[in-house]
Amino acid sequence: MSITSAIVLFAVIWFMTFLIAIPIRLKTQGDVGKVVPGTHAGAPEHHQLKKKAIITTIVAAVLWCIITAIILSGWITVRDLDWFNRMNPA
């Protein structure tokens, strides 16, 4: 795995984890009871993005280490994912 592949893998894992973490414990304006005129009641009141970004970075780093170890060790290869036998035999 090259350095570019490692960075791309980390970025994909980070964004997937972040998109999962965004709606967790989200307080909307409707929940709080203070809807600003001209906005939707589902608009976030307290989003805590900095805290979620830090937690996402830690979780993504752990997942990246595990996935990178699996890729570099050869436990799972591209040939293992060839379910339709389209690749030539090794």
| Tens digits of residue pLDDT in 61-87 | 999 999 999 999 989 888 888 888 888
Q: Does 31 have pLDDT greater than 90?
A: no
Instruction: Evaluate whether residue 22 is within a structural domain.
Output: yes
Residue 18 Rama label (left phi>0; alpha psi -120 to 50; beta): alpha
Instruction: Evaluate whether residue 90 is within a structural domain.
Output: no
* 27/37 Cα distance (integer angstroms): 17
Split into its structural domains, the chain has a count of 1
Instruction: Evaluate whether residue 45 is within a structural domain.
Output: yes
Question: Residue 80's pLDDT is what?
Answer: 86
Backbone angles phi, psi at 42, to 5 degrees: -85, 5
Instruction: Evaluate whether residue 8 is within a structural domain.
Output: yes
Q: Does 89 have pLDDT greater than 80?
A: no
Question: Residue 5's pLDDT is what?
Answer: 94
Instruction: Evaluate whether residue 69 is within a structural domain.
Output: yes
Question: Residue 82's pLDDT is what?
Answer: 87
Range of the domain at 8: 3-81
Q: Does 11 have pLDDT greater than 90?
A: yes
* 80/82 Cα distance (integer angstroms): 6
**Average pLDDT of the chain to the nearest whole number:** 91
Q: Does 21 have pLDDT greater than 90?
A: yes
- Average pLDDT, stretch 13-38? 90
Instruction: Evaluate whether residue 63 is within a structural domain.
Output: yes
Instruction: Evaluate whether residue 58 is within a structural domain.
Output: yes
